[in-house]
Chains A and B, each alone.
Chain A
Amino acid sequence: MTTQSVNIRYANIRGSSTGYFVWIVILILVSAAGLLAAHTMESQGHVVTGMNNQVVWGMPHVFAIFLILTASGVLNVASVGSVFGKAEYKPFGRLSALLAVTFLIGGLMVLVLDLGRPDRLIVAMTTYNFKSIFAWNIFLYTGFMVVVVVYLWMMFERRMQVYSRMVGIAALTWRFILTTGTGSIFGFLVARQAYDAAILAPMFILMSLSFGTALFILVSGAISRFTEMMVPDAMMERLKRLLGLFVMAVVYFVIVYHLANLYIVEHQDFEKFVLLDGGVYTLLFWGVQILIGTIIPLVLVYLKKSAQRSIVHLAAALVIIGSFAQLYVLIIGGQAYPMSLFPGKQVSSSFYDGVIASYIPSMPEVLLGIGGVSTALLITTIAIRILPFLPERDADHIDAEPSASGESV
């Protein structure tokens, strides 16, 4: 196992083409727009966002949770390589771990900059209430970052590669705890009909695996297009099968979650809202999460026998689109649906009790979210130029032709 991995040759990209610099400039501009949006939100207050006292978490949270779940899931490629010993995955371990770190940074950036008082980050880092799942998550996220950086070091440093499996197991365990923690942010909330369900924790684990695999397929596909790195057919086939498996696992949890709610009378009105008459939420659920993000990718993945790249890339892109819809319905829809203060009674007030809360995402919060994605991609793009993260072509074969580092970009 180890002997094989030491024979994998890695390279950094040359990064001297016009295309590379244009891409960097685009990412810098989009990231800067995100920061500017955050500055506006902080200086003028959250009144510039679509969030209000009813829907208190909005677009930034959809993006942040997407980025965090994806960060955890994208490390799966490294885990499968070093923990489960699948040789095809090994050459991509470094890229997988890099994406885990950069997407986590992007997610945390969005989460922190959305705070009412981001200037008090130091308070959050020094004052803890250990009963709070948020407080656990601060440790889970920063700890994950440390574990993955150590993991990367093991993968980079030949002498350390004997420990890479051990660290890989630690990272794998950490990922499951981290996504359990993220799911429990919602799962442990008794107040709202959409949450208060332990099933959200395992569902988030599977969502992270599905989104992370989709992200890896897209990023590795993009890198292959512009550099000499290549994802071999066998690897593509495995990724495709994994994606299909994870998408099915997610939809299984989605079905169980809704079935339980449908069975329990007190939750039926909420189900009616999401599944039947919730307007944009119903549309996002059936049209985007289920049709575009689940059924079509499954058809694409399982109908075509060979791993035709464009088809797999399309399936992965659709899974990512569906993931946003899923998080939007869960996070925003879950808040838009009114809390049940008096079961069986109709309540009304000046504070939007008993009515579906309105939420229209505003430009600053969307920009902040996109800025987080952009920052993750920016760090990735720069990192693969500085350090040899990418396997050289045919690197999965032990007898790979030695070549000078540096690729065509």
Chain B
Amino acid sequence: MTEGLDNLDSYRRRFLTALGIGGVAAAIGGVRIVGLATAKSDDEAVTDEARWGMLIDTSKCGEGCNRCVEACNEENGLTGFDRQQTDAQWIRTLEVRDKQTGHVTSLPMLCQHCEHPPCVDVCPTGASFRRADGIVLVNKHTCIGCRYCMMACPYKARSFIHEELTDQKPWAPRGKGTVESCTFCVHRVDRGDAPACVEACGEAANGAMMFGNLNDPDSEIAIRAKQVSSRQIRADLNLNTAVRYEGI
């Protein structure tokens, strides 16, 4: 379970080798992660060389498909209590219906990892923070559970832990009385993998979700984002989100 964490250097060697023979993307089920930076060890500081982002092609979202959600829940240990109002959801599928035309689109909604995140602005203790590589996280040690970030997030991306949790994943610590949201699977990104939702979407042969470094002009995500028309949700707020959508 934790071998990737314990053995980062060897993982990196293996990863680089795999990259070298050019078979990485195919090897993990066709997930397009070309453009991921090489994995880094724990003592390496995060820099702003990368800005991690996601490009979601909503036209490829399978009807009724919930693979990304299931993968996220499994990866991060988001077991609920069958209490829909208070159970945490880091990613959810949204059905969007045009009131005039009746056209329906399905898409995954998650933390948009804004460049100017309102949740970070309002957090009194600075527990909500943005890493240099653009990933927005909650420091579980300094979150006081005031929920102001949940008031401020325009995407309803955050959840509050309403009750005691057990069986947590070591890489996704969660605590009663604190707020949490999608971490872009930061533990996977740091070791060179794509987030669990992206991987699962690829495995389901939808391939609707692409993850990578928006700052690297040669990355697949940057090339695609430049070619096709995509948009930010609530672009009017000018938050420069890291998650972009095609087909809406």
Contacts and interface: CB of A to CB of B under 8 A. Distances in A.
Interface of A: 42, 44-47, 52-54, 56-57, 115-118, 120-121, 123-124, 127-129, 131-135, 138, 185, 188-192, 335, 339, 341-342, 344-353, 358
A278 to B, nearest CB: 19
A9 B236 CA distance: 61
B40 interface: no
Contacts of A185: 148
B159 A341 contact: no
Given A132-B121, A344-B98, A353-B156, 12 more contacts: A53-B159, A53-B160, A115-B144, A115-B145, A117-B178, A127-B126, A134-B122, A189-B151, A342-B96, A345-B98, A346-B96, A347-B96
Contact of B154 (A191, A345, A353): A191
Given A52-B162, A134-B146, A47 B125 contact: no
B181 to A, nearest CB: 11
Task: State the main secondary structure of chain B at its contact with A.
Answer: loop
Nearest to B129: A129
A346 B97 contact: yes
Contacts of B87: 53
Contacts, number: 171
Contact of B156 (A44, A121, A344, A351): A351
Given A192-B151, A341-B155, A346-B99, A46 B178 contact: no
Contacts of A120: 142-145
Contacts of A348: 94-95, 97
Contacts of B121: 129, 131-132
A57 B125 CA distance: 18
Given A128-B125, A129-B124, A351-B89, A190 B233 contact: no
Contact of A352 (B85, B88, B142, B150): B85
Interface of B: 81, 83-89, 92-100, 109, 118, 120-126, 142-148, 150-156, 158-164, 176-179, 233-234, 237, 248
Contacts of A57: 147, 151
Contacts of A117: 143-145, 177-178
Nearest to B85: A52
B96 A134 contact: no
Contacts of B178: 116-117
A99 B93 CA distance: 50
A132 B177 contact: no
Given A47-B86, A116-B176, A191-B118, A138 B124 contact: yes
Contacts of A190: 118, 152, 154, 237
A54 B83 CA distance: 13
Given A134-B148, A348-B94, A350-B89, A46 B153 contact: no
B152 A115 contact: no
B233 to A, nearest CB: 6
Nearest to B158: A53
Nearest to A138: B124
A313 B184 CA distance: 57
Contact of A45 (B100, B123, B176): B176
Nearest to A195: B151
Contact of A191 (B94, B151, B179): B151
Contact of B124 (A47, A134, A191, A358): A134
